Each structure stands twice: as C-alpha cells, then as structure tokens.
C-alpha cells in the first residue's frame, strides 16, 4: 500500500517536467482579500461543524431551545399585555376623563358625575357621557356555574363610545333589564352567542337577577375579566344600585373638525384636579404601564428570556470549546502554516454564527406552530410580528457571538512552538 511511484516523482511544476524555470522559492505572497478570507473561514467552520453530526445536532438543539424559550416568553408577555388592555383598547372615543388615582380599569376610582356635564362647557365638545364599570357574576346558561364578568354601563344610543356591534343593539338596550354579551368572551360562560343566534333573546342570570340577553357585541377578554357585558346607564344604576353621582369614566365626542389636543388642553385647564383628560392612546398606555410596571409579570418574562439565552449560550460555548480543545494540534498546525490568530478566531466565530442561523430557522418555524397552537388553547392573542422575529434573531445572534468570543480564548492554547 505504501508503493512509491517508480520514477522519482517531481513536483508538478518542476523544471524537469515543464521545461520552464522553477518558481522562485518562497516569494512573499499576496494575501487573499478580506471578503475571500471570511468566506474561506466560514467554509472551514461549516466543514468542521458538519463533520460531527451528533455534536452539530446538540448545538442546533441548544440554539433552538433558547430560540423557542425567548419567543414564547416574549409572546406570552406581549399577549398578556395586549389582552390586559383589551377592554380599553376596544372602547373608542375622542377623549376620556378618569380619576387620576385610577391605576387600572378593573379597579376604577370614582368621580363626580358633574365632571361629564362640565366638559360640555367647551364649544368643541359635542357629547360627554358618563360610563359605569363594575365586575359581577354571570351564570352559564348551560352548566349553571358562575363566573366574573366585566359590566360596562353607558348610554349606547348617544354614540360617543363606540365598539363593534354597539349600534345594532343600542335600541334594544333601552328596554329595562336587558344587556348585550361580548361574543369574544372566554368559552367558560357557555355557548351564549350560539344560543342567542339560534333562538334570539333569552333570559340569563346576571348578579343574581334575571335579565334578558338582547344582542351581541365584540370586545374580547382581558386580564381583569374573562368576558364583558354591556347595558344602558339606567339599567346599570338599577341593577347595581349605584348612586348616579359616582361614575368611573367619561367618554367625550368632539365636534367634527375639532383639534383633540387643543380640546384636551382646554379641558385640563377647565376641570378640577380630580379628573385626568386622556386620549384613547394615553388611556391604553396608562393601563398597559400598570401591568408592566405595577406587577411582576414583566420581570418574570424577562427573567425567562434571559435564562433561555444563558442556557443556549452555555451549550454553544461548550460545543465550540470542545471543538477547539479536541483539535488543538490541528489548530496549532494551521498557525504554523501561517494562519494568523485572527483568521482562526474568525473560524470559531463563524462556527458560532452558523449555529445561530441553523438553530434559529427551525426554532422560528417551531414557534410559528406553537404560537398558533397556544393561541388556540388559551385565547391569548399570540402573534408573530416581524419586529419580534428580527429582535429574537438578533438576540440569538448576540448569544452565539458571545459564546464564540468566550471560546476563542481557548485558541491561545494552540501554540505551534509546542508542536515539535
């Protein structure tokens, strides 16, 4: 097997063979361009990763794990905050008044009804209607179990507070002891919407009192309540025996062409300090901030994301480190052949970034599936946005890069002088 070619073999470009002069021995060579070098380093990294399938699979699994964890944590966080603000998000009006001490819509601070009338003093305010909020129980018409529901009481016919479906039920709601049900409420309330569509208005027990369901609206469940119920201001006051002077929210409709910011400023100057004048966006933002900052929810998800990144980084680092430690003599040989430390560092970092890409892609696809699956199971609005996909990719990229930087230190142990 160790046969030697019969005539003493010559170098392919030996003068004896080609008849030309031999290349001058050992000329200084032009180094390849930076881009070509990067390409070659990446290719070497990929070939090394590819050689050990089991190790590559472990590394990809590690990156995928981090990817899925971060995506799910961010998804849950976003979904919970979105759903937390669902109620206020759905209620549309030009301006709102509410008590400055109110932190969240499920626990409103009451204010005098007269503030709603005072707002009418501004010439650009067309309507200013009081809104009552409370939480009571609704009995499931099928199983008979009771569950907390958010009740919104206001003059639906006025048109100052808008959300899908309200115009169709406004007329029916003026009758005594009637209410409309949010068809996007969680299914624990029973098939209320289906029953209504099948047989029309029917009685349901709300807060221990038999009331008639006369229509459906669309709002969506939120953190504070699993479902929503809408009724007229009059019915609200009668059913819950609320003193009319204590209201929770004021919805203001402006005249067409009015400048909301200007009206907002004027109302602030006009009204006493026991009300805050907010636009819809500010109202939602205020509610969101309560859940983000006033509760440990944001921190919990941040912690989960960071843990995922740390575990992923450790796995990638371990893989890269083992690759270097297991091939120290080969790396040292490359250094002896004239490969610089920087080139070899690029090989290791290249391996890390390849892992980021090949781990992120399956992780992303898995998360698309998981988002759908979890959204279907929990009714949480989990949606994959481009920003989130990009953000997580950058996080994973950074995670792998950090792991690569840590692993590069091991290259110092590859000393070509020790090779002899």
Partner 1 sequence: MQAPVELREVSFAYGSGELRRLVLREVDLRVAPGEIVILTGPSGSGKTTLLTLIGALRAMQLGSARVLGQELLGASEAARVRLRRRIGFIFQNHNLLGFLTARQNVAMALELDGALSERERLARAGAMLEAVGLAGHAEKRPAQLSGGQRQRVAIARALAGAPGLILADEPTAALDKQTGQEVVRLLRDLAKGNGVPILLVTHDPRILDLADRIVAMEDGRIVHAALEQAR
Residues 391 and 324: beta-carbon distance below 8 Å: no
The Cα–Cα gap between 236 and 240 comes to: 6
Closer residue to partner 1, CB minimum distance, 343 or 397: 343
Looking at the DSSP bridge assignments, the partners of residue 129 are: 251
The least CB distance from residue 56 to partner 1, in Å, is 11
What the block records as the tokens of 412 is 């110092």
The least CB distance from residue 14 to partner 1, in Å, is 5
The Cα–Cα gap between 214 and 172 comes to: 6
The least CB distance from residue 334 to partner 1, in Å, is 7
Closer residue to partner 1, CB minimum distance, 31 or 270: 31
Closer residue to partner 1, CB minimum distance, 339 or 393: 339
Alpha-carbon dihedral sign for residues 317, 323, 326, 328: negative
- As a whole number of Å, the CA-based R_g of the chain is 34
Map tokens 């996007």 to a residue.
Answer: 184
Closer residue to partner 1, CB minimum distance, 27 or 296: 27
Closer residue to partner 1, CB minimum distance, 203 or 342: 342
How far does the chain reach from its first CA to its final CA, in angstroms?
28
The least CB distance from residue 313 to partner 1, in Å, is 24
The least CB distance from residue 394 to partner 1, in Å, is 30
Residues 218 and 90: beta-carbon distance below 8 Å: yes
Closer residue to partner 1, CB minimum distance, 50 or 409: 50
The Cα–Cα gap between 23 and 28 comes to: 12
Instruction: Collect contacts of 100-105 with beta carbons under 8 A, ≥24 apart.
Output: 100/273, 100/274, 100/275, 100/276, 102/248, 103/290, 103/294, 104/224, 104/287, 104/290, 104/291, 104/294, 105/133, 105/222, 105/224, 105/249, 105/287
The least CB distance from residue 39 to partner 1, in Å, is 10
Residues 66 and 312: beta-carbon distance below 8 Å: yes
Closer residue to partner 1, CB minimum distance, 37 or 140: 37
The least CB distance from residue 349 to partner 1, in Å, is 18
Map tokens 């100057």 to a residue.
Answer: 269
Residues 38 and 344: beta-carbon distance below 8 Å: no
Map tokens 């910011």 to a residue.
Answer: 261
Closer residue to partner 1, CB minimum distance, 279 or 333: 333
The least CB distance from residue 295 to partner 1, in Å, is 51
Closer residue to partner 1, CB minimum distance, 336 or 375: 336
What separation in angstroms does the CA of 23 have from each of 11, 12, 150? 11, 11, 88
The least CB distance from residue 408 to partner 1, in Å, is 17
What the block records as the tokens of 153 is 């009481």
Query: Where on the chain is the footprint of partner 1 (CB under 8 A)?
Result: 1-5, 8-14, 16, 22-23, 25-33, 36, 40, 47-48, 50-52, 327, 329-330, 332-340, 416-417, 419-420
Closer residue to partner 1, CB minimum distance, 27 or 273: 27
Q: Beta strand 125-139 with 146-153: parallel, antiparallel or unpaired?
A: antiparallel
The Cα–Cα gap between 325 and 72 comes to: 34
What the block records as the tokens of 304 is 């989960």
The least CB distance from residue 33 to partner 1, in Å, is 6
The Cα–Cα gap between 115 and 110 comes to: 11
């Amino acid at each position: 097997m160790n046969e030697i070619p019969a005539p003493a073999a010559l170098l392919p470009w030996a003068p004896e063979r080609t008849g030309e002069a031999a290349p001058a021995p050992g000329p200084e060579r032009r180094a390849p361009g930076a881009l070509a070098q990067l390409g070659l380093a990446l290719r070497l990294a990929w070939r090394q990763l590819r050689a050990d399938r089991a190790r590559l699979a472990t590394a990809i699994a590690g990156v995928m794990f981090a990817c899925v964890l971060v995506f799910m944590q961010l998804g849950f966080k976003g979904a919970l905050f979105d759903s937390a603000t669902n109620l206020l998000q759905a209620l549309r009006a030009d301006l709102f008044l509410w008590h400055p001490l109110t932190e969240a819509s499920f626990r409103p601070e009451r204010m005098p009804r007269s503030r709603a009338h005072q707002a009418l003093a501004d010439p650009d305010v067309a309507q200013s209607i009081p809104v009552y909020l409370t939480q009571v129980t609704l009995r499931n018409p099928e199983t008979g179990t009771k569950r907390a529901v958010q009740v919104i009481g206001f003059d639906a016919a006025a048109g100052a507070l808008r959300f899908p479906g309200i115009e169709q039920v406004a007329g029916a709601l003026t009758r005594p002891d009637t209410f409309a049900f949010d068809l996007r409420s969680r299914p624990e309330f029973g098939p209320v919407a289906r029953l209504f569509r099948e047989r029309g208005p029917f009685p349901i027990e709300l807060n221990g009192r038999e009331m008639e369901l006369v229509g459906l609206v669309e709002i969506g469940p939120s953190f504070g309540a699993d479902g929503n119920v809408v009724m007229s201001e009059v019915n609200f006051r009668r059913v819950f025996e609320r003193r009319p002077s204590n209201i929770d929210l004021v919805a203001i409709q402006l005249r067409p062409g009015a400048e909301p910011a200007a009206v907002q400023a004027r109302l602030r100057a006009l009204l006493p300090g026991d009300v805050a004048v907010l636009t819809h966006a500010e109202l939602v933002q205020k509610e969101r901030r309560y859940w983000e900052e006033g509760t440990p929810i944001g921190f919990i998800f941040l912690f989960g994301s960071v843990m995922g990144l740390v575990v992923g980084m450790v796995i990638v680092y371990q893989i890269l480190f083992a690759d270097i430690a297991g091939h120290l003599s080969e790396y040292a040989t490359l250094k002896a052949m004239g490969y610089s430390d920087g080139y070899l560092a690029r090989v290791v970092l290249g391996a890390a970034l390849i892992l980021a890409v090949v781990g992120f892609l399956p992780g992303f696809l898995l998360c698309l599936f998981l988002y759908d699956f979890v959204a279907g199971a929990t009714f949480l609005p989990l949606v994959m946005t481009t920003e989130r996909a990009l953000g997580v990719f950058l996080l994973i990229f950074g995670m792998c890069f950090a792991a690569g930087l840590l692993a590069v230190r091991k290259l110092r142990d590859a000393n070509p002088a020790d090779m002899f």
